[in-house]
Amino acid sequence: MTTARVMQPGAEAAQAYGSSAGGGGGQVANLGDILERVLDKGLVIAGDIQVNLLDIELLTIKLRLVIASLETAREVGIDWWERDPWLSSKAFDRAADGRDLEQENEQLRERVKELESGRSSREIPRTGRKSRAT
């Protein structure tokens, strides 16, 4: 579904495209987008009041932002603001079940090994059934 996001009066409607109905919507610019721009972009000139958003304060703000919206610090993806490559696969790894699946796979492998060695006392090769089936 298309979700209109009008950022400015008189401006063309900004839209979210795609299959999912999610994506917020609403008539004001998303807070995350505004914060990203006013905290991270924009011209930096040294004011007389020295609050350096580039240093530790900025990280603290962002960390707290994430924590505030999360409630459980455990789940914080603490490296999302780092300057890692823009198409970092980390984004995927953090998502949903990536890491869990790896772990589950490992556990399953162990379990299968146990079960099958109990019946046939043969170890399953790491490449799986394929090598024996052919």
Residues belonging to the chain: 134
Q: Residue 5: what are its φ and ψ, rounded to 5°? A: -130, 95
Which of 32, 99, 103, 131 is close enough to bind other proteins by CB under 8 A?
Answer: 32
Residue 19 binds to other proteins (criterion: CB under 8 A): yes
**Minimum distance between the CB of residue 59 and other proteins, rounded to whole angstroms?**
11
Which of 49, 55, 100, 121 is close enough to bind other proteins by CB under 8 A?
Answer: 49
Query: 4: which strand partners?
Result: 15
Alpha-carbon span 24 to 34, nearest angstrom: 15
Alpha-carbon span 28 to 26, nearest angstrom: 6
Residue 111 binds to other proteins (criterion: CB under 8 A): yes
Alpha-carbon span 107 to 46, nearest angstrom: 54
Query: Nearest CA to 126 among 114, 111, 109?
Result: 109
Which of 59, 74, 99, 101 is close enough to bind other proteins by CB under 8 A?
Answer: 101
Which of 27, 60, 103, 131 is close enough to bind other proteins by CB under 8 A?
Answer: 60
Question: Which tokens belong to 116?
Answer: 């099958």
Residue 26 binds to other proteins (criterion: CB under 8 A): no
Residue 123 binds to other proteins (criterion: CB under 8 A): no
Count, residues near other proteins per rule CB under 8 A? 83
**Minimum distance between the CB of residue 77 and other proteins, rounded to whole angstroms?**
5
Residue 22 binds to other proteins (criterion: CB under 8 A): yes
